[in-house]
Amino acid sequence: EVQLVESGGGLVQPGGSLTLSCAASGFSFSSHSMNWVRQAPGKGLEWISYISRDSSSIYYADSVRGRFTISRDSAKNSLYLLMNSLRADDTAVYYCARQFDDWGQGTLVTVSS
C-alpha cells in the first residue's frame, strides 16, 4: 500500500523559513516523480513543484520560484520542500503526491505574526 506522510508544518512568522518532509513507503520511491501541491484555507488546489525520479528535472510554479526548493533523498525514501521568505499567502495545507496518483494527508503551514 502506498503511503505518503508529510511533516514539518506549523506556525511561522512572515519572512521565516520552514522545511517540509514527506516520508514515502509501499512503492519504489526512486522510480517515481513527485510533486508538492498546496491548498489555502477554503480555496482550490495549487501545484507548486515537481521533481523527476533522478532529480534531473525540477520545476516550480511562478508563485514560489526563487523562494522554495524541492529535493529528494532516495536512500531515505523522502521528499522535501525548503520554504524561505514565507508570506501570509503561503498559508495552506501542503500535500506531497506520487506523480499525481497518490497523495499524503497534508501538513498545515500557517504564516502569521
Partner 1 sequence: SSELTQDPAVSVALGQTIRITCQGDSLRTYYANWYQQKPGQAPILVIYSKNNRPSGIPDRFSGSSSGNTASLTITGAQAEDEADYYCNSRDDSGNHYVFGTGTKVTVL
The residue ranges that bind partner 1 (CB under 8 A) are 35, 37, 44-47, 50, 57, 59, 61-62, 95, 100-106
Report the distance separating Cα 31 and Cα 42, nearest Å.
Answer: 34
Query: In degrees, to the nearest 5, what angle opens at C-alpha 8 toward C-alphas 39 and 92?
Result: 15
Closest distance to partner 1 from the beta carbon of 77 (Å) = 19
Closest distance to partner 1 from the beta carbon of 79 (Å) = 15
Q: Which of 9, 36, 29, 27 is nearest to 76 (CA)?
A: 29
Provide the CA 90 distance to its chain's centre, in angstroms: 12
Closest distance to partner 1 from the beta carbon of 86 (Å) = 21
Nearer of residues 23 and 61 to partner 1, judged by Cβ: 61
Closest distance to partner 1 from the beta carbon of 33 (Å) = 11
Nearer of residues 17 and 57 to partner 1, judged by Cβ: 57
Other CB atoms within a 10 A radius of the CB of residue 18 amount to 21
Nearer of residues 16 and 53 to partner 1, judged by Cβ: 53
Side chain identity at 100, as an amino acid letter?
F
> How many helices (H) and strands (E) in the chain?
0, 11
Nearer of residues 64 and 83 to partner 1, judged by Cβ: 64
